[in-house]
Structure formats: C-alpha cells, structure tokens
C-alpha cells in the first residue's frame, strides 16, 4: 500500500470568508498516483474549518450569515478575555469536518455539488490544507 501527503498554504483575504479549495484537493489526489484507496482532507486549525458543499455565491454568504447568527462575533465569551476570537473557535467546533472520501479508478468519489470549502472566521491568515491519500 502506498501513502502520500501534500500540504498547501491558503492565504485568506478577509476576516470571514468562504474559499473553494477543491482544485487543490483534486490535484493532490491526481498527483498521488493512487488509483484505489482513500483520501483524508484536513484543515489543521481551530478558528477555520472545512465543509463539503456547493460553491455558489449566495449559499456561501448564507453560510457566513447563519454562522454569525448562531455565534455572533461579539458576545459574552470566556475565551475573549485572552484571545478575542471565541466566536471563530465556536464556529469551527460546531461545523468542522475532516472529510475522508474514497478514491476509485483514480478519481475522488464525491457528490456533484460537494466542493471543498474552507470557511475562514479569524482571517486574514495563512491556512494549511493537508491532503493525505493511501491506497494502491
Ligand atoms: Zn483563540
């Protein structure tokens, strides 16, 4: 069995935004040369997260708006006493995921509208995006 690892740096531009990183994930899987196996996609951060969903402008704004509604940037948060970004941690904790998807015949199996969306909540920053693939 072969294992393969790639890390990208994604520079976010705003305090809060959604960035489609699907091209990078697909390139990593392609370059791995793995035909059948699985890929794990990790955003190793506590104030940004990854979701699988549609890259559509209105929906991306809906995601940010609804997150802000659930966890407003300003609130009575304990963590803000030391770091002033509790809202970003809470949003990430509520919505974070570490997608693991099958690779079949060299292609990542995912839904038509499942793009890899990085949700930034404490930017702008440089974020790491890790793709780990294993298989034959
Ligand atoms: Zn913090």
CA of 37 to the centre of ligand 1 (A): 36
Where do we find the tokens 């292609």?
A: 107
Write out the two tokens for 21. Answer: 């990183």
CA of 67 to the centre of ligand 1 (A): 17
CA of 33 to the centre of ligand 1 (A): 38
Where do we find the tokens 């699907």?
A: 22
Q: What is the pLDDT of residues 69-117, one digit of tens each?
A: 999 999 999 999 999 999 999 999 998 889 999 999 999 999 999 999 9
Angle (CA) 92 98 102, round 5°: 155
Q: What is the pLDDT of residues 22-41, one digit of tens each?
A: 999 999 999 999 999 999 99
Domain boundaries, the chain: 2-135
**Superfamily of structural domain 2-135:** YjbQ-like (2.60.120.460)
The pLDDT of residue 47 is 97
Residue 11 forms beta bridges with which residues?
126
pTM of the full structure? 0.95
CA of 129 to the centre of ligand 1 (A): 19
pLDDT level of residue 13 (50, 70, 90 thresholds): very high
Residue 12 forms beta bridges with which residues?
none
């Amino acid at each position: 069995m072969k294992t393969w690892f790639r890390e990208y740096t994604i520079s976010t531009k705003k305090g809060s935004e959604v960035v489609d990183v699907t091209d990078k994930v697909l390139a990593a899987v392609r370059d791995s040369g793995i035909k059948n196996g699985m890929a794990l996609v990790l955003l190793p951060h506590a104030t940004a997260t990854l979701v699988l969903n549609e890259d559509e402008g209105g929906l991306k704004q809906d995601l940010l708006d609804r997150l802000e509604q659930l966890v407003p940037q300003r609130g009575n948060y304990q963590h803000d006493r030391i770091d002033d970004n509790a809202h970003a941690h809470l949003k990430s904790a509520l919505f974070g995921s570490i997608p693991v998807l099958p690779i079949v015949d060299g292609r990542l199996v995912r839904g038509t509208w499942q793009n890899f969306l990085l949700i930034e909540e404490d930017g702008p920053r440089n974020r790491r995006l890790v793709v780990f693939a294993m298989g034959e």
